[in-house]
Structure 1
Amino acid sequence: MNPRKNKPVIGISIGDINGIGPEVTLKALMDNRILRLVTPLIYAHGKAITFYRKHLGLEDFNFMQIKNIQEVHHKKVNLINVVEESPEVMPGAETQEAGKLALAALNHAIKDLKDGSIEALVTAPLNKHNINSETVKFVGHTEYLTEALGVKDSLMFLVSEDIRVGLVTGHLPLSEVSKQVTADRIKSKLEIMLQSLKNDFGVGKPKIAVLGLNPHAGEEGLLGTEENNIIKPVIKEYKDKGQLVFGPYPADGFFGMLQHKKFDGILAMYHDQGLIPFKSMAFETGVNFTAGLPVVRTSPDHGTAYNIAGKNQADEGSMREAVLAAYDIIRHRGGWDESGES
């Protein structure tokens, strides 16, 4: 046991300080359950957090600035400054300064994840546009973390109490999706989902539904051939191995008839096919989990929401659930027990 730790340390990269990330973070961490279970460590800048504390009237929120991970205090919310200069906070504005801070926060957190200084990472929403540059190509948190951690593949896994949806393809233009729906890719995502349901969510014998790519799941080749040529053979292969994998299901009818309630996980072929129904059902409580990584990473299932930033209108439910989900996954993986030993 590491004597420094009596609760798991969960890092929170602040994301875009001009979006709703700081607001939902502060509000979520004011929930007493959080501090009882975990030690939060925010990667940001103290000026930005102090700004929102005052601006939103959250005077009961307190935090302690530390210089490094060794100074973590387990009875407080901790914060590490990831940039030296105090940032200008402009709620609702897209600025290069905010993008620079968001990337610095994420990189600092990834470093601490890699060396085992924190047990999990929760990423607040950021803006891809003000992060990308000639030297940085940022498609999304999932892809960035997968590459940074040297993992061959991962799964964007949207989870809530009632529904779990994984994606075969993620942040891709729709015109590219059909080219990326290959047998090998579907198998890789299925393997990650099966293992994650067992190891991260405690499901002994996962039952998975696979959606079709085309309308009506291809209508036996009338509306597309991917189902017959690619998806069905993969499903048969898994069934032959004794796995509870079913489909392909037409996405509209599947969700319209509430068939998702019969499955532990659903594998969608592309981003909107999976995320539209998921967010319709669980927008305020849903969590984006990156399955397949050697570390635990979760995030709220929403974006920066510049239009309501700084207006005290953002709901912190998804951020709170992201922190609690990270804690639960740590325990399911056997990385922490109730006595606080890692």
Structure 2
Amino acid sequence: MAKTDNIKVGISIGDPNGIGGEVIIKAFEDPAMLEMYTPIIFGSTRLFSHVIKSIDSQVKIHGVKTVDEAIPGRINVVRLFKEDFAIEWGTVSPQAGKMAVESLQAAVAALKEDQIDVLVTAPINKESIQSDDFKFPGHTDYLNQELVGESLMFMVSENLKVGLLTDHVPISEVSNSITPKLIKTKIGTIKESLKKDFAINRPKIAVLGINPHVGDNGVIGSDDQDTLIPALEELREDGNIIFGPYAADTFFGNQNFKNFDAILASYHDQGLAPFKTISFGSGVNYTAGLSHVRTSPDHGTGFDIAGKNQANPSSMRAAIHTAVAIYNNRKLYDELTANPLKNQSRKRR
């Protein structure tokens, strides 16, 4: 991969009792990572010194007071926390949740001010982050509030991209949550992201049905016939290359997903279960549709292996690479579309 002009990669620490710190440090044990990017971790030097010792790593961290003090070629850690914190591996802790939220909020603030170029978030525990001041089920909902645009949970890997029509919604509420407006909004976001973020000019999008067997013409629910299918027909009439709805039970097993640039799943597990089965370790959770770039590994806090030096950093590394690739694709897209006549002139030459 070519040098990226010291793109500043902001990183929130996730739950300090999980594997977030471990995969962050392991990701940057590869010297090539520091040649390509300038990591800026929002956390605590004491915390990361403990992580480094626990996994017997040889990397060095560079503590800074502000983002402006970050130095290329170093693992920069913004000293965010003043209070002492004793790591309790694999434990759900309100204090750990509070630190995860403070790290996320500081990183997002820096992202909004363009002090960092992209944001990569380590995994949080959805229980411990809850408080009177923070009542979001996850990163996506918080980012949707803080950044411009309409967020979409978009799980991406080299060969598979899966967006969610509904994400952190109880299964009992999925059907009532799906409306024609939501369908059109999410497909519009996927299409725009494929063009701007992944340089796919005429994306082909497949949609999975809401009910088993797409409702079997109303025998197993009428949601597909009443809501999903009419919305897709309207989108096709507007020139969108949309296919489906497909029965989800066979779509991935028969390799049909390989025929499309992206798939829109109706609910969380319908999309994420096959995605993680096919792409686990190389997959990335990307929040598409927003004004700034945020990615995350495709795994959780890993409480069962926290502190055991067993965490695999490949998804964290993929999340960093993907965030920067999207950032560069957006810059190129903006450049190419800023002056169409000028670019058309260049093409003729």
The TM-score with structure 1 as length reference comes to 0.94
Residue 303 of structure 2 corresponds to 306
The residue identity in structure 1 corresponding to 2:199 is G
Distance 1:265 1:32 in 2: 33
Residue 13 of structure 1 corresponds to 12
Residue 98 of structure 1 corresponds to 96
Residue 52 of structure 2 corresponds to 53
Runs of 4+ aligned residues of structure 1 deviating over 4 Å after TM superposition are none
Residue 130 of structure 1 corresponds to 128
The residue identity in structure 1 corresponding to 2:131 is S
Residue 71 of structure 1 corresponds to 69
Residue 119 of structure 2 corresponds to 121
Tell whether the 8 Å contact from 1:154 to 1:293 is kept in structure 2 after alignment.
yes
Task: Output one character per residue of 1:217-265: Cα deviation in whole Å (capped at 9) or x when no partner.
Answer: 1111111111111111121112112221010000011112110000000
Provide the aligned length of Structure 1 versus Structure 2: 331
The residue identity in structure 2 corresponding to 1:72 is A
Residue 29 of structure 1 corresponds to 28
The residue identity in structure 2 corresponding to 1:80 is V
Residue 158 of structure 1 corresponds to 155
Higher relative contact order (CA 8 A, sep 6+): 1
Correspondent of 1:329 among 326, 331, 338:
326
Matches of residues 1-342 of structure 1 in structure 2 within 5 Å?
Answer: 6-59=5-58, 61-151=59-149, 153-334=150-331
The residue identity in structure 2 corresponding to 1:67 is K
Q: 1:39 is paired with a residue of what secondary structure?
A: strand
Comparing 81-90 with 195-204, which one deviates more in the overlay?
81-90
The residue identity in structure 2 corresponding to 1:327 is V
Residue 340 of structure 1 corresponds to none
Shift in Å, 1:31: 2.0
Shift in Å, 1:135: 2.9
Percent sequence identity over matched residues? 45
Tell whether the 8 Å contact from 1:82 to 1:101 is kept in structure 2 after alignment.
no
Distance 2:86 2:47 in 1: 8
The residue identity in structure 2 corresponding to 1:158 is M
Tell whether the 8 Å contact from 1:6 to 1:74 is kept in structure 2 after alignment.
no
Distance 1:134 1:141 in 2: 17
Distance 2:181 2:313 in 1: 38
Task: Output one character per residue of 1:179-224: Cα deviation in whole Å (capped at 9) or x when no partner.
Answer: 0111100110000000000000011100000000000011111111
The TM-score with structure 2 as length reference comes to 0.92
Q: 2:163 is paired with a residue of what secondary structure?
A: strand
Tell whether the 8 Å contact from 1:124 to 1:299 is kept in structure 2 after alignment.
yes
Tell whether the 8 Å contact from 2:153 to 2:288 is kept in structure 1 after alignment.
yes
The residue identity in structure 1 corresponding to 2:183 is I
Q: 2:290 is paired with a residue of what secondary structure?
A: coil
Q: 1:84 is paired with a residue of what secondary structure?
A: coil
Comparing 198-207 with 88-97, which one deviates more in the overlay?
88-97
Distance 2:180 2:30 in 1: 44
Shift in Å, 1:6: 4.1
Gaps of 5+ in 1: 338-342
The residue identity in structure 2 corresponding to 1:323 is I
